[in-house]
Amino acid sequence: MTKIAYACAVLAWGCLLATANAETYTPGQRIEKDYRTFAKPLLVTYCGDCHGEKDPEANEGNFSLYDLGAVDDLNAAAWTSVWAQVALKQMPPKDMPELEVVERLQLSDWIVQELSHALKDKGGFQMHLDPGKGNFVDHDLLFGPLPSDVQLRPTASPARIWRVTPEEHITRLNELINSEAEYDPAKPGLRTHGDAVPTNHGGELKLYFGIDRIIKWQGGTVAYATAVKSVPAVLSSSRDHGLKNYPHFHTVNSAEATQIISIAEDIIRYMAYGPLSIAEPYQITDDPNSIRDKMQGDLRGLPTSIVYNTKIMRPLTPVYDLMKNEGADQESIRKAVDYLFEALTFRPPTIPESDAYVAIVQQSINKLGKEDGAVLGLSSIFLDRDALFRTELAKKGQPDEHGRVMLQDWELGLAVNHAFRYIPPDDTLREAILSGRMRTKADVKREVERILADDSIRKPRVLQFFRDYFDYGLGGYICKDTNALEETGIRTGQGYYFSLFDATASTDRLVELILQEDKQVLKQLLTTDKVVATSKDNAFFGERRTRQETAKSIAEARKLDKADLEAWKQANPGEDPPRSLLNKRRNINHKISEADLTGEPIYARVGRRSFGSGSMKPERVLATVPEGQRLGILTHPSWLVSHSDAMDNHAIRRGRWIYERLLGGGIPDVPITVDAMLPDEPHHTLRERMRVTQESYCWTCHQKMDPLGLPFEMYNHAGVYRKLELEKPVDTSGEIIDSGDPELDGEVADAIEMIQRISESERTEQVFVRHAFRFWMGRNETLNDRPVLQDAYQAYKESGGSMKAMLTSLLTSDAFLYRTTMRPDAAKSE
């Protein structure tokens, strides 16, 4: 169809459009319309001028609507592109007639509806459910005026089943075999009972057996790490960047189930026997010298290389009692079953559940004998649905007129608990659930405010939100090219990666300090001049020297070495100088002028016992960053390296993060036909190599990202401050374009100016609230969530930027409390 034919078609559909314009619309309702009478007229009217030619190359962006047709599995990619352009208001262009609000909402929702139907037998359409697509919902409609023809309905979240995250699963298992220290207000930074199990210095999330009882081992730290029995995180995570707390992201496959059973057997045996389940009896002693004759030969990396003390450190539970006593009576089996069930599912079993597992254990014992049978039978509880998933099915209660059912009792209580913790509800919340006092909004508010006010109730879920939101914990997982890393001035080797995992723990602690103050939380995170640091951070927070400065530093060191040598010879005539004096300053990093990060001693929340080179030390300082060089988390190496790649900075990724996480913008996915690679030009700066993104086909999206990421070129890809790149002055200029807030838009001199400007914006705070909503609700917001988001933002604003106030608002909202098993209009449409 030619442009003339499109123009003629407009007249034919005019009356239909007039009817559409007069409609009211409730977002999310089923749209009983088809392509021919609904979608096609809109595309003809608003898109035909630019995309109506048959030849793709004759259309804007080489995209043709000529043969599009109704949504099916063959043209799904094209319709997905149309959906993104419509939802983000990028189609039609701003200099063309715009879709009416209802038209845009209906067309966007209709496309999602039709894609979901067309792809239901091919894995379904999930893109609109991704947290990265949450910004596709119009920010101005959420926080600004709402047209009268858009009618909202009371919100609720869908009934769903959540798979526990790797962090949750490991922490649950840790509770079974390790006794953690209780919270000490005098040392609030030390990891205590209820905190998440931390990664080791290699970035591994593991649970270690008996580590607090180890008093000696043979071999170095690698041998030690090999010899200690450990449980890796079995449940995998499918995402690297962004929010991960969505129910539909994860499942449990058969391979994982097999691993869980194997892990369960190890854990139950350790619960029963302690280190004796993994060591020989002679290895349990308080005097390692007494078994010197047993520790002969090369035992490095073998379990027999470890000595445990005799003190019992693990919890002694009914599982211990069952295995300790002779025989296996029904009462002992039931106590072990009920204890293990609640420890893994966070709720007591029902009588039928308890009976079923008791029967399984008894049957296993009858077939395999007491020990092996009890271990196998109890292992089955580790695969119980509620040990791996958390349900919000809302089967109790009557639906209201909107089809919503409020969660209650254990489902509501565990939802509140899950909002903060990885361990079972405390006694107060457990009692409230059992006594029927977790059934109302007031009940939830009471418990939320109590938990938020009590520092001894650890809340790792809150910290996890900030990790997911800022994405600052990924730097240690980015494998750097050795030569490229050397050019940054940071020393290469395993120590580099250790430093980045240390940096993540340090940033965690800084976040906690700002949350403790609980004032202007987001602004403080963006603009703080504080950093929690180790001694190695002096280099990361330093300044990269020029070649001339590096040469001068080397010459001065040699001069001082020579002077020291001459002084020694004069004091010790005729003697040979020690080797340590010949190159005394050889370990100085001449490529970097190190920062002086000194300050108040502070602890970071890492493993409580040093595990050779595999654990981090908790000692840190709270220091002030070099003035004029750093401002807030986005200028810390933990964030900068997390948003880099193996060879260089990643200005596009950084710019996209700013655009989406702070400004609330949306970027369509890169078409599969685009080769999204920068040219390999080692003698050109990153800004020079990014010229390819300014081609007309790319620049529509890249103009919103690149100018936001390039100001961070004031740091190299190890996060070190610099003034030169390839011996050329670094260009740190940038621009905020199409932010949605005209007061924000405009040129910026560098990252610090940009961060300062953005941190003052109400829009940035609102976008922050939107991301908090996604994390704690486990889904993207819709226009029907408008009152919830506005209430949460108002609570944040009126409280002076309090995270506690915002969380209380979100966790007492209808979106958190209510579930729907079916859309109210769905039955009518069938």
DSSP per residue, 4-53: HHHHHHHHHTHHHHHHHHT--B-TT------IIIIIHHHHHHHHHHHH--
* Spatial distance between the Cα atoms of 320 and 312, rounded to a whole number of angstroms: 12
Number of H helices, E strands in the chain: 34, 18
Q: For residue range 774-804, what is the model confidence (pLDDT) as tens digits?
A: 999 999 999 999 999 999 999 999 999 999 9
Angle at alpha carbon of residue 249, lines to 248 and 254, rounded to 5°: 95
Q: What SS3 string covers 81-113?
A: HHHHHHHCCCCCCCCCCCCCHHHHHHHHHHHHH
* Mean pLDDT calculated for residue range 642-655: 95
- Measured distance CA(589)–CA(329) in Å, rounded: 68
Residue type, 42: L
pLDDT of residue 807: 98
Helix (H) or strand (E) holding 466: helix 460-470
Return the pLDDT at 153.
95
Residues 310-338 have a mean pLDDT of: 95
Phi and psi angles of residue 161, each rounded to the nearest 5 degrees, phi first = -120, 125
Residue 502, by phi and psi: left (phi above 0), alpha (psi -120 to 50) or beta? Answer: alpha
Distance from C-alpha of 512 to C-alpha of 384, rounded to nearest angstrom: 34
Q: Which helix (H) or strand (E) holds 725?
A: strand 724-725
d(CA 104, CA 138): 10
Chain centroid, CA 512 distance in Å: 16
Burial of 742 (0-12, 13-18, 19+ CB in 10 A): exposed
More confident residue, 410 or 241: 410
| pLDDT of 3 | 44
Per the CB < 8 A criterion, the answer to whether 217 and 307 are in contact is yes
- The strand pairing partners of 284, in sequence order, are 308
Residue with tokens 């010899």: 227
Tokens of residue 617, six digits: 């030390």
How many C-alpha atoms does 307 have within 13 Å on its Cβ side?
17
pLDDT of residue 224: 84
Q: Quick one: pLDDT at residue 239?
A: 64
**pLDDT tens digit string along 28-45?**
899 999 999 998 888 888
Q: CB under 8 Å to 398, separation ≥6 — which residues? A: 405
Are 619 and 496 spatial neighbours (Cβ–Cβ below 8 Å)?
Answer: no
- For 631, the 3-state DSSP assignment is coil
Residue 163 pairs with which residues in a beta bridge? 389
- Identify whether the C-beta of residue 599 lies closer than 8 Å to the C-beta of residue 566: no
Cβ pair 611, 211 in contact under 8 A: yes
Distance CA 290, CA 283 (A): 10
Determine which of 461-475, 697-711, 781-795 has the lowest per-residue pLDDT on average: 697-711
User: 3-state class of 405 per DSSP?
Assistant: strand
Range of lowest pLDDT (5-19, 517-531, 625-639): 5-19
Q: Are strands 160-163 and 404-406 parallel, antiparallel or unpaired?
A: unpaired
* Residue indicated by tokens 């403790």: 516
Task: Give the model's pLDDT for residue 558.
Answer: 85
The owner of tokens 């958190």 is: 816
Q: State the burial class of residue 289 (Cβ atoms within 10 Å of its Cβ: 0-12, 13-18, 19+).
A: exposed
> Which residues face 216 on adjacent strands?
307
Q: Cα 305 to chain center, whole Å?
A: 38
- The three-class DSSP label of residue 183 is coil
CA dihedral (319, 324, 325, 328) positive or negative: positive
Task: Tell me which of 108-117, 270-279, 527-536, 581-590 is least confident.
Answer: 581-590
The pLDDT confidence band at residue 347, using thresholds 50, 70 and 90, is very high
Joined together, the tokens standing for residue 553 give 């530093």
pLDDT at 422: 96
Q: What local confidence, expressed as pLDDT, does residue 6 receive?
A: 43
pLDDT of residue 612: 52
Residue 269 has pLDDT above 70, yes or no: yes
Q: Token digits for 439?
A: 């059934």
Q: Is 392 helix (H, G, I), strand (E, B) or coil?
A: strand
Say how far apart CA 632 and CA 301 lie, in whole Å. 43
Cβ neighbours of residue 85 closer than 8 Å, sequence gap 6 or more: 91, 668
232 phi and psi angles, rounded to 5 deg: -80, 160
Higher-confidence residue: 806 or 243? 806
DSSP H helices in 389-459: 409-418, 427-434, 441-453
Largest CA distance in the chain: 108
Rounded to whole angstroms, how far apart are CA atoms 177 and 270?
7
pLDDT at residue number 11: 38
> What is the per-residue DSSP string for 214-263?
EEEESS-HHHHHHHS-EEE--S----SSS----GGG----HHHHHHHHHH
Rounded to an integer, the average pLDDT of 682-701 is 83
| pLDDT confidence bin for 644, thresholds 50/70/90 | very high
The answer, yes or no, to whether residue 476 has pLDDT greater than 50, is: yes
Single-letter code of the amino acid located at 91:
M
- 462, containing H or E segment: helix 460-470
The predicted pLDDT at position 22 comes to: 56
| H or E segment and range at residue 509 | helix 494-517
pLDDT for the residue numbered 729: 95
Dump pLDDT digits (tens) for 348-389: 999 999 999 999 999 999 999 999 999 999 999 999 999 999
Query: Mean pLDDT across the chain, nearest whole number?
Result: 90
Question: Tens digit of pLDDT for each residue in 600-623?
Answer: 999 999 886 555 555 688 999 999
Note the pLDDT of residue 611.
54
How far is it, in rounded angstroms, from Cα 630 to Cα 542? 10
pLDDT of residue 826: 44
pTM above 0.85, yes or no: yes
Please give the backbone phi and psi of residue 115, each rounded to the nearest 5 degrees, phi first.
Answer: -65, -40
18 pLDDT higher than 50? no
Among 160-164, 492-496, 806-810, the range with the most confident prediction by mean pLDDT is: 806-810
Give the Cα separation of 683 and 688 in Å (integer). 10
Q: Which residue in 768, 761, 769 sits closest to 741, CA to CA?
A: 761
Helices 762-777 and 786-798, packing angle to 10 deg: 120
Full DSSP string of 693-723: GGSHHHHHHHHHHHHHHGGGGGB-TTS-B-S
Give the whole-number percent of the chain exceeding pLDDT 70: 93
pLDDT over threshold 60, residue 4: no
pLDDT in tens, 491-500: 999 899 999 9
Over residues 382-397, mean pLDDT:
94
pLDDT score at 289: 92
Q: Hey, how many other C-beta atoms are within 10 angstroms of the C-beta on 133?
A: 21
With CA atoms as reference, report the closest residue to 455 among 517, 410, 524, 413. Answer: 517
Q: Are 378 and 362 in contact (CB under 8 A)?
A: no
Tell me how far apart the alpha carbons of residues 753 and 711 are, in angstroms, rounded to a whole number: 9
Measuring CA to CA, which residue among 343, 335, 334, 341 is closest to residue 362?
A: 334
Q: What letter represents residue 270's amino acid?
A: Y
Residue 108, pLDDT score: 94
Determine the pLDDT at residue 673: 61
d(CA 724, CA 414): 53
Lowest mean pLDDT among 69-73, 341-345, 415-419, 721-725: 69-73
Q: What is the DSSP letter of 644?
A: B
Please give the DSSP secondary-structure letter assigned to residue 153.
-
Strands 818-820 and 404-406: antiparallel
